[in-house]
Amino acid sequence: GGGDGGSLQQVLRYPSVEEAVVCELDQRVVDLSRQYFTAGFGDPWTDPRATLLVRDAFGFLAENPGQFDVIISDTTDPIGMAERLFSDEFYQLLVRALAPNGAAATQCEQPFFDTALIKEIYCVAKSLTAHPAYYYTQVPTYPGGGIGFMYVSNTPWEAGLATPLPPGINNYINPDVHRAAFALPEFFRRALYGE
């Protein structure tokens, strides 16, 4: 996923990013996004650090063990062709493709509607890494007004707070919002973590 360039644009805001590789299954997504979105948002595909691969992410991840500091899985919902991006096999490939201290973030649905699926994904991530964690943010265009993500890593998410954000990088995230994203409603925290 990621062919719309939105996640890519956000990633490329960080000067420390040396290369950003996007695997998109459908070239038409990229073409239409460039045609209709770039007027208002710019064209991240012109950045020399951006690489587009029109191919399936499964094969790409399998061919690149230990290569990535960060992997962001920018997917649609777990239905149809995208369903396998929520599978045990995908998470195994994802973790295998991470560098030793790497971290991944995957779209992981809504706690108010998809608790069972999120718990299943968390259990898989927990079997593969030491510090998986679910986090949630508000996105008004999603059902219920928000969406969740799974942090998948052997490094605790709190380690990200140690690196200050470059000034002017964004107008949303700060250390308080970062911490708050991992604070879960009690019903969901108990269901997910069993505490």
The yes or no reply on domain 94-193 and CATH 3.50.4.10 is no
> Does 99 score more than 70 pLDDT?
yes
CB atoms near residue 49 (< 10 Å): 14
Catalytic pick from 26, 47, 56, 74? 74
Q: State residue 188's pLDDT score.
A: 94
In degrees, rounded to 5, the angle at the alpha carbon of residue 102 between the alpha carbons of residues 179 and 84 is: 90
Q: What is the mean pLDDT of the chain?
A: 91
Cα→Cα distances 2→50, 119, 152, Å: 12, 25, 19
Collapsing DSSP to helix, strand or coil, 101 comes out as: strand
Domain ranges of the chain: 94-193
> Does 149 score more than 90 pLDDT?
yes
Across residues 95-105, what is the average pLDDT?
96
> For 154, how many CA atoms within 13 A lie in the half-sphere containing its CB?
10
Q: Identify whether 77 is a catalytic site residue.
A: no
> Which residues neighbour 137 within 8 Å (Cβ) at sequence distance 6 or greater?
146, 147, 148, 149, 181
Least confident window among 101-105, 120-124, 144-148: 144-148
What band does 132 get if pLDDT is binned at 50, 70 and 90? very high
In degrees, rounded to 5, the angle at the alpha carbon of residue 135 between the alpha carbons of residues 63 and 191 is: 105
> Does 20 score more than 80 pLDDT?
yes
> Does 147 score more than 80 pLDDT?
yes
Chain-centre distance for alpha carbon 69: 13
* Residue-wise pLDDT tens digits, 65-84: 999 999 999 877 666 666 67
Cα→Cα distances 190→31, 84, 179, Å: 43, 27, 18
Q: State residue 143's pLDDT score.
A: 83
> Which residues neighbour 60 within 8 Å (Cβ) at sequence distance 6 or greater?
23, 53
Across residues 154-179, what is the average pLDDT?
90
* Residue whose tokens read 């996105």: 139
DSSP string computed for 110-145:
-TTT-HHHHHHHHHHHHHH-S--EEEEEE-TTSGGG
